[in-house]
Amino acid sequence: MTTTAEPNWHILGAGAIGSLWASHGHLHGHPFTLILRDAQRLADYQSARGITANLGGSAQHLPLKATCPSQLGEPITHLLICAKAQQTQAAVAAIAAHLSDDAVVVLLQNGLGTAAPLMQHKPSLRLLQASTTEGVFRNGPFSIVHAGRGQTLLGQSTALTLPPMGEEFIAGIARQLSVGPLQVTPVADIDTVLWQKLLVNCAINPLTVKYRCRNGELLDNPLALQELGDIVNEIAKVNHALGYRDNETELLGRVRQVASKTALNRSSMLQDIEAGRETEIEFITGYLCRLGTELGLSLPRNQSLLTLVREA
């Protein structure tokens, strides 16, 4: 009896999520190759001799396999994209010459709007999308903490008019990406999963920037809580226009539940603002506002937050 060798997965985006998957893969015999931004970043990584990862106990040093675009020497047939949405197009362009035409690509990132441009760039890619609620953050250069267990869902979007890959194929990809405690579950309707996560991010992330607070502190501030309700009211209008049944009360309940469960988290958007980095706002609130315009809906509260984060 012969067995099929596991494919070699590359991870584009060595931030918190990418490093989390690579770390657990390393520990459980499924090594991934991290693709770092450039040769200088790779040199810094090599000087650090790997990732320091606290995966639920004491921190440990992991010499994860890593490379950079200029040093890629093999074709990329399986790619997990964990780069932030605003960095995706440039990051993929840097490795495009090494990306197989029919490569399996999994998008695992916040926000919406990066999938369609990827398919225009390379129409024969086998593109899947994923969403995770794993709690992980960086606490220093090449250092992560796995702070909370979550759920990761994977599927093929029906919004991209691609040939269906089939349940068995998608289930196989989910198994390949399930390493250690990180279990990936295939779902039939990934579009709804991604949309619901976007709505939660639209409600929470820009408000944490406005009030410079942790997620849970939005629930303790009467002004922020009122504004949260106003934002969700606008989101509910878009949700209804797209045919989703969740009403304003249900959406607000979901948002408040997430804020409570992640009470001590500092949103990635707030962390980016504090570090002077570009944020994902165009692929979160910006995406929502553009969609609202297409639907003929006015979203002044969300538009105001979009402007605030752009100018922060």
Of the three residues 153, 188, 223, the one that is the final residue of a domain is 188
- Sheet containing 143-148: give its strands across: 59-62, 51-54, 143-148, 135-140
Claim to verify: residue 184 and residue 197 sit in the same structural domain = no
Claim to verify: residue 19 and residue 156 sit in the same structural domain = yes
C-beta separation of 45 from 142 below 8 A: yes
Q: How far apart are alpha carbons 186 and 189 in whole angstroms? A: 9
C-beta separation of 209 from 308 below 8 A: yes
Number of other residues whose CB lies within 10 A of the CB of residue 105? 23
Q: How far apart are alpha carbons 295 and 238 in whole angstroms? A: 8
Q: pTM for the full model?
A: 0.93
Claim to verify: residue 229 and residue 140 sit in the same structural domain = no
Residue 268 lies in a domain: yes
Mean pLDDT along residues 245-271: 91
> What are the DSSP E strand ranges found in the chain?
9-12, 33-35, 51-54, 59-62, 66-67, 76-81, 99-108, 126-132, 135-140, 143-148, 152-155, 184-186
Q: How far apart are alpha carbons 227 and 203 in whole angstroms? A: 9
Of the three residues 161, 188, 215, the one that is the final residue of a domain is 188
Of the three residues 188, 213, 230, the one that is the final residue of a domain is 188
Claim to verify: residue 143 and residue 270 sit in the same structural domain = no
Residue 2 lies in a domain: no
Claim to verify: residue 181 and residue 206 sit in the same structural domain = no
pLDDT tens profile 132-156: 988 888 888 899 999 888 899 999 9
The answer on pLDDT for 1 being more than 70 is no
The reported pLDDT for the residue numbered 46 is 95
Give the model's confidence band at 174: pLDDT under 50 very low, under 70 low, under 90 confident, else very high.
very high
Claim to verify: residue 210 and residue 303 sit in the same structural domain = yes
Claim to verify: residue 166 and residue 206 sit in the same structural domain = no
Claim to verify: residue 76 and residue 177 sit in the same structural domain = yes
Number of other residues whose CB lies within 10 A of the CB of residue 26? 20
Claim to verify: residue 104 and residue 49 sit in the same structural domain = yes
The answer on pLDDT for 3 being more than 70 is no
The CATH number of residue 82's host domain is 3.40.50.720
pLDDT tens profile 97-122: 999 999 999 999 999 999 999 888 78
Answer left, alpha or beta for residue 2, where phi above 0 means left and psi between -120 and 50 means alpha.
beta
Residue 206 lies in a domain: yes
Please calculate the CA angle 91-96-98 and round it to the nearest 5 degrees: 120
Residue 27 lies in a domain: yes
Kindly state the helix (H) or strand (E) to which residue 56 belongs, with its residue range: none
Residue 85 lies in a domain: yes
Could you say which of 65, 84, 122, 197 is catalytic? 197
Question: What's 15's DSSP letter?
Answer: S
Give the number of C-alpha atoms closer than 13 A to the C-alpha of residue 242, restricted to the C-beta side.
19
The reported pLDDT for the residue numbered 4 is 56
Residue 156 lies in a domain: yes
Partnered with residue 34 across adjacent β-strands are 11, 66
The CATH number of residue 198's host domain is 1.10.1040.10
C-beta separation of 96 from 122 below 8 A: yes
The reported pLDDT for the residue numbered 253 is 96
- Which candidate, 83, 80, 133, places its Cα nearest to that of 103? 80
Claim to verify: residue 155 and residue 246 sit in the same structural domain = no
pLDDT tens profile 23-54: 999 999 988 999 999 999 999 999 999 999 99
Number of independent structural domains in the chain: 2
The reported pLDDT for the residue numbered 138 is 85
Range of the domain at 200: 193-311
Q: How far apart are alpha carbons 245 and 233 in whole angstroms? A: 14
Residue 22 tokens read as 């690579």
Residue found under tokens 């250069």? 141
Q: How far is CA 210 from the centre of its chain?
A: 22
pLDDT tens profile 59-91: 999 999 999 999 998 899 999 999 999 999 999
**167-176, 254-263, 303-312: which range is least confident on average?**
254-263
Residue 134 lies in a domain: yes
Give the model's confidence band at 163: pLDDT under 50 very low, under 70 low, under 90 confident, else very high.
confident
Claim to verify: residue 175 and residue 210 sit in the same structural domain = no
Pairing of strands 33-35, 99-108: unpaired
Q: How far apart are alpha carbons 65 and 62 in whole angstroms? A: 9
- Which candidate, 134, 257, 146, places its Cα nearest to that of 204? 257
The reported pLDDT for the residue numbered 160 is 83
Kindly state the helix (H) or strand (E) to which residue 20 belongs, with its residue range: helix 16-27
Residue 261 among the catalytic residues: no
Q: What percent of the chain has pLDDT over 90?
A: 81
CB proximity list for 301: less than 8 A, separation 6 or greater: 227, 230, 231, 233, 234
The reported pLDDT for the residue numbered 58 is 86
Claim to verify: residue 170 and residue 253 sit in the same structural domain = no
Question: What's 10's DSSP letter?
Answer: E
pLDDT tens profile 177-231: 999 999 999 999 999 999 999 999 999 999 999 999 999 999 999 999 999 999 9
Residue 98 lies in a domain: yes
